[in-house]
Structure 1
Amino acid sequence: MNKLDEFEQEILDAYEQGELVSNSPAKTDLSKFKAAASATFIKDKRVNIRLSSPDLMDIQARALEEGIPYQTLIASVLHKYVSGRLMEKPSNLNTSTNRRGVDETGA
């Protein structure tokens, strides 16, 4: 067994003396969390989409950073958007026109 550093030894001593208390959720909360997690991961429909190569490469790179498959990242982003947890930021690309291309300055 590897030798423990000072911090690890303090934790082990506290555990052995019964000083550490579990902070786990109540059983009723745990069942709610399990149900929500199960509902999130039910995938019963298939969708095919076309993406530009640069967008797909960026998505794959971001998924690699997150350590998840890129399809899972896409599904997660879509789920967050439709559930209201992901909001679209206004674009700074064209500040003088609104979404319909109408000049808001009246010109």
Structure 2
Amino acid sequence: MDKESKLEEEILASFERGEWKSVPKLKSEIARFAAIASAALAKNKRVNIRISSRDLDDIQAKAAEEAIPYQTLMASVLHKYVTGRLVEPSPNLPPRSSGTRQKRCAT
């Protein structure tokens, strides 16, 4: 049995023995966290950009691989970039490809 399964079984047994207790929640604290979450997820600005049709096709293909709308993928990439969480691929790993397009040639 792996460590995760053993831990899950220990947690379940602990729960079934009644060792878990609910923590009372303050309505003000719940409301505060709900407001923070809403503000973080609010999309209240519209932006129009011009990109090449080839880049848009690639973005749409990547979004299809992830089963998400391409606008959502674009917003996610921009968000990760501005928050410093966009991770560049390791130089040791080959780039991911959808397999539907040839790599672009440098001219």
TM-score, normalised to structure 1, is 0.50
Larger Rg: 1
Q: Which has the higher contact order (CA 8 A, sep 6+)?
A: 2
